[in-house]
Structure 1
Amino acid sequence: MTPPVAPLSRQPLGSTGLDVTPVCIGGGPLGSMPENFGYEVSSERGIETAAAALTGPFNFLDTAAGYSGGDSERRIGAALARVGGLPDGFVLATKVDRDGATGDFSADQVRRSAEGSLRRLGIDRLQLVYLHDPEHITFEEGMARGGPVEELLKLKDEGVIGHLGVAGGPVELMARYLRTGVFEVLITHNRWTLADRSAGDLLDEAKALGVGTVNGAPFGGGILAKGTARSAKYAYQKAGEEVLDRIRAMEAACAEHGVPLAAAALQFSMRDPRVTSTIVGISRPERIAETARLAAWEIPPELWEVLESMAVPAASWQW
């Protein structure tokens, strides 16, 4: 029997002064990203889902300028208009992106990206903005005088942006950005899941620095929610046999305890005291309530012990 949907408490997001629920709705699928998720999302369905997110049990929604060429933000903007604006206490985060056609990640591009987000979302200020996927340039380029990070700081000084974060993959690169002291929030993705523990040291460092941590892709791109019968990819790439065998064992252990694999994958992230919020990408309105139920599903302590022994060896992590 699944538990009812219940309100979730809010926690401080690092030093930002923002309080967020332990689940954050991910806006990637809202704009339709079939190359990543394997299915299309119509404009109306994306808008309806965004509206459900804005009025549901979670107060945190994450998107990016580059998701589906801006369609994720456009649909969220339409949903904001539909529900009468951003609800009190709601946190809407977006990300500045490099130019999708040229790869340009200059200061000018950062400003264009942020200004485009304001237009698409239909708001006059961005609460929280991440430097998105800086692994596509060198750290030195990112931090250079007159570069993208300096431009983000200018936008913050101008009041266009409230708080700055960094969101990306490679854990050592993310740690280097955190050590600059510029960023208040971190997004790591696909690197702290039931299967992959690459981000362990990064989470420790973020906590020591007082940085709020948001953990993305707790389902590893879907396989830790759908199971191996429906997906053979981890982090949007074909998974190796070692990874698949470990996840199959996790599926069997969860089934033995009457627990959905997705509930264990989500709560693995939620139960970590170093993680403030966990991003779950959603593309249907009904998934909001389903995610809340997964977040509240009762999981016996003995299952956590079993699952811990099934984590993928470090040699197969994303890093």
Structure 2
Amino acid sequence: MTTLERRPLGGTGLEVTPVCLGGGVLGSMPSIFGYDVPAEQGIATVRAALESPINFLDTSAGYSDGESERRVAAALAEVGGLPEGHVLATKVDPDPETGEFDGPAVRRSAEASLERLGLERFQLLHLHDPEGIGFEAAMAPGGAVHALLALKEEGLAEHLGVAGGDIELMRQFVRTGAFEVVLTHNRFTLVDQSATPLLDEATGAGVAVLNAAPFGGGILAKGPEALRKYAYADAKPDVLERVRAMATLCAEAGVPLGAAALQFSTRDPRITSTVVGMSSPERVEQAVDWATWPIPDDLWQALSPLTKD
């Protein structure tokens, strides 16, 4: 049976597999991903993950207005709760009606997530996409981070993380010392390593790094002939050209492009776990296969010049 070695998640005391089930698509986001995910399919995907070597699940209050969390909860209920040795992370989001993302909104988001997930406390709770309010507002007295620290002090959140896209903003949050984990997305892939300064700074500070969206929205899994978007926007000609060349090299080596894209992240010692969006049980199986696919050193050497902008 295939196994995935578990890694320490920074100083949290938690141990996670190098691949994490990403829940963004689980609740169905057709406007972003281009397709619907029926409820039973989403639940079956979580069920498959729980039966797989993967021990790490990531979701958010804001994914499909809580539907991702509800589907995770339904699968967990089937097995009597989160299995021993598994780790579940979720994220607080702005108030879905008012858009407020202050301290009270964070507490409301967290309490709603506890209820939806059927949990008494969070193992890992992220501040999600703080770009919308900025660093000063998030760190202000009575603000979002103040509320998260209060949840931790009360024992409702064991560990805190911050998840977002803007690299310089994520670096600011890392420097506060309030967070044990940072999650970046779409910025450390085969064709974009703009998150490198964040990876270096977080690692140096003892903050665990999670890297999400290693396929850049799908092009690095499906190839440029099937998908011409990168990070949910039209891919630049240079990106299409490089991905096309990568796909050719991988095909010649007998390695799926998706395996190379995933392992580009999982093999980096600065990254504890790579968050992969999965929308069906088949995708769970595929992610495990790609994470363990043998990739010769000469393919990495051939790909290296193409990874640079």
* TM-score, length of structure 1 as denominator length: 0.95
Please give the alpha-carbon distance, in whole angstroms, between the structure 2 residues aligned to 1:62 and 1:143: 24
Distance 1:232 1:32 in 2: 21
Distance 1:66 1:281 in 2: 15
C-alpha displacement of 1:201? 1.2
Q: Distance between the aligned counterparts of 2:242 and 2:94, measured in 1?
A: 36
Which of 276, 283, 306 is equivalent to 1:310? 306
| Partner-residue secondary structure (3-state), 1:162 | strand
Displacement of 1:55 in angstroms is 2.4
Residues 1:236 and 1:100: Cα distance change in structure 2 (over 3 Å): farther
Which letter does structure 2 place at the counterpart of 1:115?
Answer: E
Which residue is 2:278 aligned to? 282
Superposition deviation, residue 123 in structure 1? 1.2
Match for 2:61 among 52, 65, 70? 65
Partner of 1:256: 252
Task: Report the counterpart of residue 105 of structure 1 in structure 2.
Answer: 101
Counterpart in 1 of 2:78?
82
The one-letter code matched in structure 2 to 1:147 is G
**Where does residue 201 of structure 1 map in the other structure?**
197
User: In structure 2, the residue corresponding to 1:89 is in which secondary structure?
Assistant: coil
CA offsets, 1:44-101, max 9 Å, x none? 1111111111222110000000000100000011111111111001000000011234
Unaligned runs of 5+ residues in structure 2 are none
Tell me the SS of whatever aligns to 1:310.
helix
CA distance in 1, matches of 2:253, 2:96: 45
How big is the alpha-carbon RMSD for the aligned residues of Structure 1 and Structure 2?
A: 0.9
**One-letter amino acid matched to 1:196:** D
- Per the TM alignment, residue 312 of structure 1 is displaced from its structure 2 partner at its CA by 4.6
Q: CA deviation at 1:102?
A: 3.0
Identical-pair percentage: 61
The whole-number CA distance in structure 1 between the counterparts of 2:123 and 2:107 is: 15
Whole-angstrom CA distance in 2 between matches of 1:98 and 1:221: 23
Q: CA deviation at 1:276?
A: 0.3
Name the SS for the 1:30 alignment partner.
Answer: coil
Q: Would you say the 8 A contact 1:214–1:279 is kept in 2?
A: yes
State how far apart, in whole Å, the 2-side matches of 1:192 and 1:203 are: 9
2:159 is aligned to 163
Cα distance in 2 between the residues matched to 1:227 and 1:36: 18
- Counterpart Cα distance in 1 of 2:82 and 2:104: 28
Read off the aligned partner of 2:299 and give its amino acid letter. L
C-alpha separation in 1, matches of 2:121 and 2:50: 17
Where in structure 2 are the equivalents of 1:1-319 lying within 5 Å? 6-313=2-309
**Cα shift readout 1:99-152 (whole Å, capped 9, x = no counterpart):** 234321011110011001011111111110000001111210010011000000
**Letter of the aligned partner of 1:35 in structure 2?**
S
CA contact (8 A) 1:246 1:312 kept: no
Paired with 1:39 and 1:29, the residues of 2 have a C-alpha distance of: 9
**How high is the TM-score relative to the length of structure 2?**
0.98
The separation in 2 between residues aligned to 1:122 and 1:281, in whole angstroms, is 22
User: Hey, what's the Cα distance between the residues in 2 that align with 1:229 and 1:63?
Assistant: 30
**Residues 15-38 of structure 1: CA distance to partner in whole angstroms, max 9, x if unpaired?**
100000010010111100112211
Deviations 1:169-216 (A, max 9, x none): 011110000000000001010011000010111101111000111100
After the TM superposition, which of the residue ranges 88-97 and 99-108 deviates more from structure 2? 99-108
Indicate the SS of the match to 2:214.
Answer: coil
User: What is the count of residue pairs matched by the alignment?
Assistant: 309
Contact (CA 8 Å) 1:172, 1:202: kept in 2 or not? yes
Runs of 4+ residues over 4 Å off in structure 1: none
Q: Which runs of 5+ in 1 are unaligned?
A: 314-319
| 1:102 counterpart SS class | coil
